[in-house]
Amino acid sequence: MTTAPAATPAPATTSVSPTAHQLWTGWRALLAAGLALVFFGVLYALLQSGQNHQALDPRSPDPAGSRALAQLLEHRGVTTKVVTTTDDAAAAVTPDTTLLVTVPDLLTPHQQLRLHRATVQSGGGRTVLLDPSDSSLGVLAPRVHYAGPTAVQTRRAGCDLPAAVRAGDADLGGTTYTTTAEGADGCYRTGAGNPTLLRLPTADGDVVVLGTHTLLQNENLDDQGNASLALQLLGAHPRLVWYLPSLDDAAAFDGGQQSFLDLIPDGWNWAFLQLLIAAGLAALWRARRLGPIVAERLPATVRAAEATEGRARLYRRGNARARAAEALRTATRDRLAPLLGIPPSQAHDPGTLASAVAARLDDPSTDPHITLHGPPPADDAALLRLADDLDALERRILRNERKAIP
């Protein structure tokens, strides 16, 4: 009675997927850079928000604040009311009010229109705009246009505006303007003749456009005629509404649905365009032809040693010790089976081959089963020892078989 040959065991497999340690090693530098970028971005945003809150704030004693000017106005009998929303600013405008808008360009078109309508309906008063550009001049100061930047320095009044004549020299500049409005007063002109202070008369009041806000700050108020000019421009009426626009004003979105692109600042759009151009140039650079195509004769002959070394490197890169060990054991079993007279179908049977090998060894203490069918090695050193043991086992069997030949 013959027994059916045992099934050939499947070779051990080792996953080549990256482990958690490998993923951490490969990505920790990028993760640290990303966390650092987020941290410094949040820190910078907090610092900037703190600075923006203090700049031109009539409650702030910081050098960039305007508390000194607010106190001087209070001594002259001018009441200052600080507002941060368009609705509060529009509601506070009256014929005996001066409205100061510190950052006009921060207002959306809907906010500008809301503010302009409130000043027109009030029937008088004065509106003072600090450093506006064309994005806000068209609504808040019609017929006034941006003419370019200029340095802030001491300038002569050079006009008939009573406030400028009494103040004399003052620190003006920043932005220059042109106007086509009749009866407008242009003061503190640059060398090109463009004014940095404009006063435009309206039906019942006027609009004052200042090219810089520096003369209103605490650190610059006592220079030249800055204090006199600021007090006369902002103290023309008994009430002063000091409007500090903010980004969280709900009125900014009342003018209709805005898309995500509408909320992105212009600077980010230009930065994205530059990155897009850089990416295109990099793609063209990397896709350039390195030279003519070289024909290669196929099939190419690869030496066995090179193929073996290449496969070994792949096993090592993937930490596939179990697969490498099984390949070594399979090759050894295939070579030993013909020497011991074992059919190829039983070459990988643990019991048959191990028993035949043990019978040919001159050392009964050696267990060939562990060497030929043992567990996969735990590390690279164990894999090297297994290769040496398999080589030594095969040499001993060959030596014994040669001795047995008469």
Among 247, 279, 297, the domain boundary falls at 247
How many domains are there within the chain?
Answer: 3
Nearest C-alpha neighbor of 55 from the set 113, 103, 119: 103
239-281: pLDDT as tens digits:
999 999 987 777 766 555 556 666 666 677 788 889 999 998 8
Print the domain residue range for 39: 26-55
- Residue at 126 is within a domain: yes
Q: What tokens appear for 20 in the block?
A: 């958690």
The reported pLDDT for the residue numbered 277 is: 93
The reported pLDDT for the residue numbered 406 is: 59
Average pLDDT of every residue of the chain: 83
The reported pLDDT for the residue numbered 11 is: 47
14-62: pLDDT as tens digits:
455 667 777 787 788 888 888 888 888 787 766 655 444 468 999 999 9
What's the predicted TM-score (pTM) here? Answer: 0.55
- Residue at 3 is within a domain: no
| Region 82-97 average pLDDT | 92
Among 247, 269, 298, the domain boundary falls at 247
300-313: pLDDT as tens digits:
777 888 888 888 88
- Residue at 159 is within a domain: yes
Specify whether 114 is located in the same domain as 92. yes
CATH code where residue 130 lies: 3.40.50
170-227: pLDDT as tens digits:
999 999 999 998 889 999 999 889 999 999 998 878 999 999 999 999 999 999 999 9
